[in-house]
């Protein structure tokens, strides 16, 4: 048997898309195991996650995200741009569409600028929820963990945001896991270290739950970091976010919108 797949990435955050728009390809009971097997970079295809594209009951495209640790994420910012590009290239959607996710409906505007595909996503309204982290530090929405002030933010998935002088000085793999697993985050959290680089620009590095490692980019993390920085008066309403894999633009007026690229890497077939 054969399973067609397409590999895409958004600023280096890479995914395997399985097209189930017309029919189920991977049985439900095998989706988690499939992610663990084929996200492996030595024995599989290699990816930060598997994106399943299907059609919802009302005909809208639907995205599900399964991660290397077999968990299913509520949403993925870079992933939804990749899924949108695949659906657009396949002719399933036009320049504007709505994609269903576990975090809700996401409105997408997309197209090509020269040869580059760009998509703008209406993200979930950022939430800064002090109930996720008991208030034990100075100010609202934060507590002291070790030597860091950790802020809680949610942009469809939970995030911890830590402002630092320089992200280059941070040992992400060593410092992020205790925060990622901290009991105040009931379902765990992605961890973002954020450096202000200009009046309306920040640089971030992100440790992603489910991948359990630093990734080159995180769309929901960029949105959470920019929205929180604006909430605290650090930046304005249009924020240039530099991730390890490339730039994103986050607009935080009237909610939050993320704009960035998506690139098709290759397509292939799994034979078994």
Give the tens place of pLDDT for each residue, 69-108: 999 999 999 999 999 999 999 999 999 999 999 999 999 9
Around 1, how many Cα atoms within 13 Å sit in the side-chain half-sphere? 3
Do the bridges between strand 142-145 and strand 104-113 make them parallel or antiparallel, or are there none, so unpaired? unpaired
**Extents of the domains making up the chain:** 2-123+260-271, 142-254
Question: Which CA distances in Å does 97 have to 81, 109, 254?
Answer: 12, 7, 19
Q: Write down the pLDDT at residue 145.
A: 56
d(CA 105, CA 243): 25
In the structure, what pLDDT confidence band is assigned to residue 254 with cuts at 50, 70 and 90? confident
Pairing type for strands 96-101 and 116-123 reads unpaired
Q: Which fold has domain 142-254?
A: Diaminopimelate Epimerase; Chain A, domain 1 (3.10.310)
- What pLDDT is attached to residue 97? 97
Task: Count Cα neighbours of 219 within 13 Å in the Cβ-side half-sphere.
Answer: 29
Mind telling me the catalytic residues?
Answer: 76, 218
Q: Is the pLDDT of residue 24 over 60?
A: yes
Q: Is the Cβ–Cβ distance between 120 and 259 less than 8 Å?
A: yes
Supply the pTM of this predicted model: 0.91
CATH superfamily, domain 2-123+260-271, is: Diaminopimelate Epimerase; Chain A, domain 1 (3.10.310.10)
User: What is the model's pLDDT at position 131?
Assistant: 35
């Amino acid at each position: 048997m054969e399973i067609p797949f397409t590999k895409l990435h958004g600023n280096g955050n890479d995914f395997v898309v399985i097209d189930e728009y017309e029919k189920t390809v991977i049985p439900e009971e095998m989706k988690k195991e499939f992610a663990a097997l084929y996200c492996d970079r030595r024995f599989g295809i290699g990816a930060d996650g598997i994106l399943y594209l299907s059609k919802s009951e009302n005909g809208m495209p639907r995205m599900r995200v399964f991660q290397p640790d077999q968990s299913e994420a509520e949403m993925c910012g870079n992933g939804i741009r990749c899924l949108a590009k695949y659906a657009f290239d396949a002719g399933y959607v036009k320049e504007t569409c709505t994609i269903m996710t576990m975090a809700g409906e996401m409105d997408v505007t997309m197209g090509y600028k020269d040869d580059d595909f760009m998509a703008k996503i209406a993200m979930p309204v950022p939430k800064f929820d002090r109930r996720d982290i008991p208030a034990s530090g100075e100010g609202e929405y934060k507590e002291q963990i070790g030597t860091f002030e950790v802020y809680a933010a949610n942009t469809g998935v939970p995030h911890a945001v830590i402002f630092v002088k320089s992200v280059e000085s941070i040992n992400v793999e060593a410092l992020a896991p205790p925060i990622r697993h901290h009991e105040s985050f009931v379902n765990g959290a992605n961890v973002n270290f954020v450096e202000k680089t200009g009046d309306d620009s920040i640089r971030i590095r992100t440790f992603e739950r489910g991948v359990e490692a630093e990734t080159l980019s995180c769309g929901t993390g960029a949105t959470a970091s920019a929205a929180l920085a604006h909430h605290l008066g650090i930046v304005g309403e249009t924020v240039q976010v530099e991730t390890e894999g490339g730039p994103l633009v986050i607009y935080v007026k009237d909610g939050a919108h993320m704009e960035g690229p998506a690139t098709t890497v290759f397509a292939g077939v799994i034979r078994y």
